Amino acid sequence: MAAAAYDPEADLDNTPDSVFCSHGAGFTVKWHQVKDYMHITSGRKEEKPPELITRNIRLEDRELEKILAAGATAPTAKNLQPQRIYVLESPEALEKIRGITRCAFNAPVVVLVCGNKETAWVNPFNDRSSNEMDCSIVTTQMMLQAQELGLGTCWVCWFDVEQTKQAFQIPENQELFALLPLGYPAEESKPAAMHDSRKSLDETVVRL
């Protein structure tokens, strides 16, 4: 935005409203708030992530329902909605996922984001499935809603996919793309150091 000479702080009343919203789906986020929608990390210098990146406080059912509903409103290719969401909240399920990955961060809820590869749209021009793209939009909208509710989360890919699928008996026709730990940020948490590192628009945008 700086490269485009736009100052969001000076235009809070007339900002473009929607960041992730298509065909009326999603919810509004003003541009000056985008930096708030970030993953968090602890300031500790340990090799493994600390246990309490999120406080072990139970999420309210209404909070979780809002997050799941935000994902359900995500636009998907041809509106086929291939996403399949697994909510890990029982002590047994949480113990399993914490044994598989160090990046469950002691969260009271961990969401597994999967997509049905048999029902996702396939692009006839390159035979590429929309499954991962669709599930990425779903994941992003759930993350935005979590932040809106004052919760912390992180898009996690540091886990053994096949081990996780076996542990939770995820059908073979479903691809597992990401984990979303959900919880209240610990007081010492802060944005990861690399979060604000961005390439310039000159490096990422080609105007023809």
Q: Is 170 contained in some domain?
A: yes
Q: Is the pLDDT of residue 27 over 60?
A: no
Q: Is 92 contained in some domain?
A: yes
Q: Is 21 contained in some domain?
A: no
pLDDT tier for residue 195 given thresholds of 50, 70 and 90: confident
* Of the candidate ranges 9-23, 64-78, 141-155, the one whose mean pLDDT is the lowest: 9-23
Identify the pLDDT of residue 24: 35
pLDDT single digits (tens) 96-112: 999 999 999 889 999 99
Q: Which residues pair with 55 in a beta bridge?
A: 184
> What residue numbers bound the domain in which 91 lies?
39-195
Identify the pLDDT of residue 61: 94
CA dist 50 to 177, 178, 189, Å? 24, 20, 10
Q: Count of domains in the chain?
A: 1
Q: What CATH number does residue 174 fall under?
A: 3.40.109.10
**Residues near 98 by beta carbon (within 8 Å), at least 6 away in sequence:** 104, 106
Q: Is 71 contained in some domain?
A: yes
Q: Is the pLDDT of residue 15 over 50?
A: no
Q: Is 1 contained in some domain?
A: no
pLDDT single digits (tens) 159-168: 999 999 999 9
Mean pLDDT (whole number) for 148-165: 95
Q: Is 9 contained in some domain?
A: no
Q: Is 29 contained in some domain?
A: no
Of residues 192 and 47, the one with the higher pLDDT is 192
Residue 190 CB burial class (10 angstroms; 0-12, 13-18, ≥19)? middle
Q: Is 93 contained in some domain?
A: yes
Tokens of 28: 């509004």
Q: Is the pLDDT of residue 67 over 50?
A: yes
CB 182 within 8 A of CB 111: yes
